[in-house]
Structure 1
Amino acid sequence: MDHMDPAPSDTGIENLSDRKRPPAELLLSSDEKRTKPNSSPAPIYLFATRDRERSPNDRSFREMLGYDTATSSLTIHSMIICNYMIDFEFLLHEIPELLTIPQITLFYGHETNPEYLMQWKQATFVDARLLRPSDPPRSLHNPLPFRIPYGVHHSKIIVFGYREETTQQEKLRLIIHTANLLELDIHRKIQGACIQDFPLKNTECSPSPSDFENDLVAYYDTYDYTRPRIWSPSTQTSPCSLIQWLRQYDFSSASVALVPSTPGYHRVSDSEHPNRALQGHLRIQQLLRQRCARYTKQSPATSTGPVVCQFSSMGSLTEKYLNELYQSMDVRSASRPKHERPSSSPVPLAQKLQLVYPTVEQIRTSYEGYSGGGSVPGPYRNVSKAFLRPLYHRWSDEGRKHVGHIKTYYQLSNDGSRNDEDDDCADNTMEWFVLTSHNLSKAAWGEVQMRSAGRRLFIRHWELGVWLSSSDETKLAPYGTTIPQTRTVPLPYPVRPVRYRANDQPWAVDGVYDIPDALGCVQLG
């Protein structure tokens, strides 16, 4: 459930494209320019929100699209927007420049104010595709060859091709983020985004496709969108498909790996196709095996810290499933051959897995009050299971008043017991980090099932995230660290989350709460 602020006074889109907004700060802030030479930020940002002091890692939604910056000189010629929920009235009032982009393609799971989409289509070329995996196979809204009950399109992606006018270079920007295109999601919730630009390929040397390119194309291929278009007027002489257009760009500089989920039954091993990405939680296991192989050479005494899962919704989980998830996300477990992995760990789940999820009190005292909890739709039957209680950690221990809709997962490099007098921040490094649309559910991350063709990972949702890792040369740490040779990521909560207090209760979207919230409202169910 999402609640909208009062609608803008305009009742149509006729004059939106003429609106101008004052330029904001440069994307590279002065604080970032002073960043220590041994520390470099990863391309991960938080959305700038109302009523919160802006940090160097914050970007407004408009800035992410290249607007409202003092040096903005982009001419966007095509854009693909993928999301779960889109309020078309808000989107067009927030980004009126969309009315001037010649080619726009939308893939989404739920719409609000569709009459604005109709007006949008009259102003420019917009191809909108509502995706529902639960519809009959190969139907108008389900491109898949099968029906997936309760499946949704939950990914949040923006891709656009543009010309940089100062250099006359053609580039593509890829934004993988966590926000629904709703006013309160964009301006009031804590959200995250990964942003990176890519150049056109050098046709003279014809570079081989990178793994990132193949993974991105494989994800979009599941949409079965083959309509030929002129995506880039300056580089195309004839229409081509979305996949063909994406392959014109050089993704070899990608600083992250993709973590995809698409509806269906998927292979559980990469033995047959080692260069193809697995899906869901097995993708993280695959990446850990590929990039953290150094752990196979360490002694069994060497240990890592807990896996931290921060999310805004939770499915119906079991201890068995969370152990399965942990086995895929733990560096040492994932790096072992399958026959060497224990079927069950003697270490209690609470010592190796931490779930960051807001308490009732944190929702009640947030800027939006109980209504903000509508974007954290964990039902009581799912969040109140007894085995989850020792796993829960508070959304924030810093007095923040914004509800989190961001989803982050990572593993700490150690359990925090080390005391290194020479480096007081060493305990806060991370082995890997994921920013994603995946909530904590089987529908998103997948569940291994036995089929007639063998073991398969069953996934219900479209999801997409990005993965970063530490290496022997470069550590991964939260922004603000003083550790040398690090890549930093912004975290809106402590890197070592704080465990629930004795009287803390997990937020349940269908709960009854009679204590007035920050707005003086109660929730009676």
Structure 2
Amino acid sequence: MKECPYGEKCYRKNPIHFGEFSHAHLDAIYEKGKGSGDYEIPAKYSSEMIHTQLKLLEKLFPKEAAKKEKEAHSSGSKPHVTAPIASGSSSSGSLDTKPSGSSSSRPAASQDTSNLAKKQKLNAKNIKDYIPVVIEKGGMAKKLERAAPYNMFLTAITDSKPTHSEPLSITLQEILDESLGEIESTVQINFMVDIGWLLGHYYFAGILDKPLLVLYGDESPDLLSIGKFKPQVTAIRVRMPTPFATSHTKMMFLGYSDGSMRVVISTANLYEDDWHNRTQGLWISPKLPALPEDADTGAGESLTGFKQDLMLYLVEYKISQLQPWIARIRKSDFSAINVFFLGSVPGGHRESSVRGHPWGHARLGSLLSKHATPIDDRIPVICQSSSIGSLGANVQAWIQQDFVNSLKKDSTPVGKLRQMPPFKMIYPSFGNVSGSHDGMLGGGCLPYGKNTNDKQPWLKDYLQQWKSSDRYRSRAMPHIKSYTRFNLEEQSVYWFVLTSANLSKAAWGSFNKNSNIQPCLRIANYEVGVLFLPRFVTGEDTFPLGNNRDGVPAFPLPYDVPLTPYAPDDKPFLMDYLQGLH
């Protein structure tokens, strides 16, 4: 059994991972302990994290089998984790999560019926060992239909039971649900990918053998050689032009056997913690059918130009394995899409006469100036993200000069004197995190550090608490990123952005200040989001806020309004607070 490459720093809580890798520090604690939570955990470890991991070992390697397991390990044989068979399957089976892909552990097909029924019953329970929130299969198509016209969801929260049945809550398993179509191939573009955890989901969805292309940003030893052991998986790390740039996009393509496809844009990494007790957002496209063979080149475009913008974005990767998907997108009918594609790509970008600004906050500004209804300057720009970049010595430096200057735009005729709207930033306070479902570890998805915070003390005046009681997520820390303007008095939302982009220059871009040349927007990261503009989604000037209006559903904001400013003794949560836990 291989030793986990992360050793004592392993944060995983995924049964597949613990069936595949050993952890010397956990084995030592487990062996000495009496089970059922009675363990002596050294002070240098996070007690909460280690307890969770030990519970997994108890499930995978029960005490009575510990001796046999130890003997098996020492003799060189490798245990595997048995996964449940897919619902409705007529035969029993196991998911061998070892890289070898061996199927030697599969039960013989000649098992008698009673044993098979018993095995199926046991396996049906096992899915909950892998996926804490399991929704009955077959209902996702109707759920998506009921989510119109926004098609925007938040992930289900393990420790918040009301989210398990909330109509606009979703699990990863539901995105792969057969009611949405019979999947023949997929693409996953993401920053962090736990391939064992992801393939476990593919197994339960019955698509483990289907071609999967993974583009990933963060270093992942497991992905380097995955193609040797799982030939259906092609994994490519996105190379970045600068050391501090990040391939941060979270997007998936689902290809169906009838030739149609679907696009999903998300804020969640593909590993267990991000789908556990963290608030994440997802937009799911309608089904996009294949165009007729003789269709015109420009056919199947949405009113928002989504298809062209998506293809222009994908070309920027310069990855040949994406070419078949770019071709598939070109031949698909995107006309049912009612949102704008909003991307960031690394490099220096200038405005063009054809497209305006192509990427980042300047692209958002271009779209707002064309399509957003006129907005009173007193209406704030509300930002919300899971990390904050280095923003400068004061609020004017980048927030006002660059970012809010783009986000304040609307279709008011040029020439009218405008004021800078207020800026507000929703970011979890120390109190928000300490009271979260996972306690201080809930801040693991908030990588904002003391060094950066100390250089921008002015930011505290603009900070707002994380509160989401209306969506049962006040204790589920937000990894979602969103930007909007709304009017509480008129109960109206003017526009809304859901994106992977945190509040940072790297994600959104920063203009050079050289007045001798045309302004150039410097962007470091790959990011992807969607812009909801009322005229394209509902045909009206604004979205309703809070309650339905004339049959139009209220826009599903991920947090409570009115916002709650930080109290004088509040402070933003900083990643440094976690250091004492490890």
TM-score by length of 1: 0.77
- Inter-CA distance 119–83: structure 2 relative to 1 (3 Å threshold): closer
Which residue in 2 is equivalent to 1:199?
289
Does residue 1:354 correspond to 2:462, yes or no? no
Does residue 1:261 correspond to 2:344, yes or no? yes
- Inter-CA distance 132–369: structure 2 relative to 1 (3 Å threshold): farther
Counterparts of 2:83 and 2:343, CA distance in 1: 35
Which residue in 2 is equivalent to 1:144?
none
Superposed CA deviations along residues 312-337 of structure 1, whole A, max 9, x for unmatched, are 000011322110211111144x7554
Counterparts of 2:151 and 2:145, CA distance in 1: 12
Alignment of 1:63-142 (within 5 A): 63-67=174-178, 72=179, 74-96=181-203, 97=205, 100-112=208-220, 114=222, 118=225, 121-133=228-240
Counterparts of 1:207 and 1:281, CA distance in 2: 30
Which residue in 2 is equivalent to 1:243?
326
Please state how far the C-alpha of 1:60 moved relative to its aligned partner.
0.8
Contact 1:105 1:126 in 2 (8 A): yes
Which residue in 1 is equivalent to 2:570?
504
Counterpart of 2:528, as a letter, is: L
Alignment of 1:8-23 (within 5 A): 8=16, 10-11=19-20, 18-20=85-87, 23=136
Counterpart of 1:79, as a letter, is: T
Aligned with 2:154 (options 43, 46, 51):
46
Q: Larger relative contact order (C-alpha < 8 A, sep ≥ 6)? A: 1
Please state how far the C-alpha of 1:99 moved relative to its aligned partner.
5.7
Contact 1:360 1:505 in 2 (8 A): yes
Contact 2:141 2:180 in 1 (8 A): no
Counterparts of 2:83 and 2:428, CA distance in 1: 38
Counterpart of 1:206, as a letter, is: D
Q: Secondary structure of 1:438's partner?
A: coil
Which residue in 2 is equivalent to 1:232?
none
- Inter-CA distance 185–31: structure 2 relative to 1 (3 Å threshold): closer
Does residue 1:436 correspond to 2:499, yes or no? yes
Please state how far the C-alpha of 1:74 moved relative to its aligned partner.
3.0
Q: Structure 1 or 2: larger strand share?
A: 1
- Inter-CA distance 87–402: structure 2 relative to 1 (3 Å threshold): same
- Inter-CA distance 330–440: structure 2 relative to 1 (3 Å threshold): same
Which residue in 1 is equivalent to 2:398?
321
- Inter-CA distance 287–119: structure 2 relative to 1 (3 Å threshold): closer
Q: Structure 1 or 2: larger helix share?
A: 2
Alignment of 1:217-296 (within 5 A): 217-227=311-321, 241-267=324-350, 269-270=351-352, 272-274=353-355, 278-292=358-372, 294-295=373-374
Superposed CA deviations along residues 99-139 of structure 1, whole A, max 9, x for unmatched, are 63432211111144507x74565333222111131xxxxxx
Does residue 1:367 correspond to 2:410, yes or no? no
Counterparts of 1:258 and 1:285, CA distance in 2: 13
Runs of at least 5 residues in structure 1 that lack an aligned partner in the other structure? 134-146, 164-168, 229-239, 419-425, 513-521
Please state how far the C-alpha of 1:485 moved relative to its aligned partner.
5.1
Counterparts of 1:206 and 1:504, CA distance in 2: 58
- Inter-CA distance 303–454: structure 2 relative to 1 (3 Å threshold): closer
Q: Secondary structure of 1:431's partner?
A: strand
Counterparts of 1:118 and 1:511, CA distance in 2: 35
Which residue in 2 is equivalent to 1:476?
543
Counterpart of 1:475, as a letter, is: T
Counterpart of 2:475, as a letter, is: K
Contact 1:88 1:111 in 2 (8 A): no
Counterparts of 1:464 and 1:291, CA distance in 2: 20
Counterparts of 1:506 and 1:400, CA distance in 2: 16
Aligned-residue CA RMSD in angstroms? 3.0
Counterpart of 1:393, as a letter, is: Q
Please state how far the C-alpha of 1:374 moved relative to its aligned partner.
1.9
Superposed CA deviations along residues 380-401 of structure 1, whole A, max 9, x for unmatched, are 2333522112210001163721
Counterpart of 2:139, as a letter, is: L
- Inter-CA distance 126–504: structure 2 relative to 1 (3 Å threshold): same
Superposed CA deviations along residues 39-73 of structure 1, whole A, max 9, x for unmatched, are x5401111112011121101111101225xxxx27
Counterparts of 2:226 and 2:317, CA distance in 1: 25
Please state how far the C-alpha of 1:277 moved relative to its aligned partner.
5.8
Counterparts of 2:431 and 2:227, CA distance in 1: 41
TM-score by length of 2: 0.70
Superposed CA deviations along residues 471-508 of structure 1, whole A, max 9, x for unmatched, are 37253245x52322535432231133211112211111
Please state how far the C-alpha of 1:524 moved relative to its aligned partner.
6.0
Identity %: 27
Q: Secondary structure of 1:198's partner?
A: coil
Counterparts of 2:283 and 2:475, CA distance in 1: 23
Counterpart of 1:432, as a letter, is: W
Counterparts of 1:441 and 1:218, CA distance in 2: 23
Counterparts of 1:218 and 1:365, CA distance in 2: 43
Counterpart of 1:381, as a letter, is: N
Which residue in 2 is equivalent to 1:4?
12
Superposed CA deviations along residues 389-448 of structure 1, whole A, max 9, x for unmatched, are 221000116372111100011011x3x4x4xxxxxxx33x11100000000000000000
Contact 1:91 1:182 in 2 (8 A): yes
Contact 2:245 2:506 in 1 (8 A): yes
Contact 1:44 1:489 in 2 (8 A): no
Please state how far the C-alpha of 1:187 moved relative to its aligned partner.
1.8
Larger Cα-atom Rg: 2
Size of the aligned set, in residue pairs, is: 448
Alignment of 1:359-508 (within 5 A): 359-384=429-454, 385-396=456-467, 398=469, 400-412=474-486, 414=487, 416=488, 418=489, 426-427=490-491, 429-450=492-513, 454-471=518-535, 473=540, 475-478=542-545, 481-484=547-550, 486=552, 488-508=554-574
Which residue in 1 is equivalent to 2:60?
none
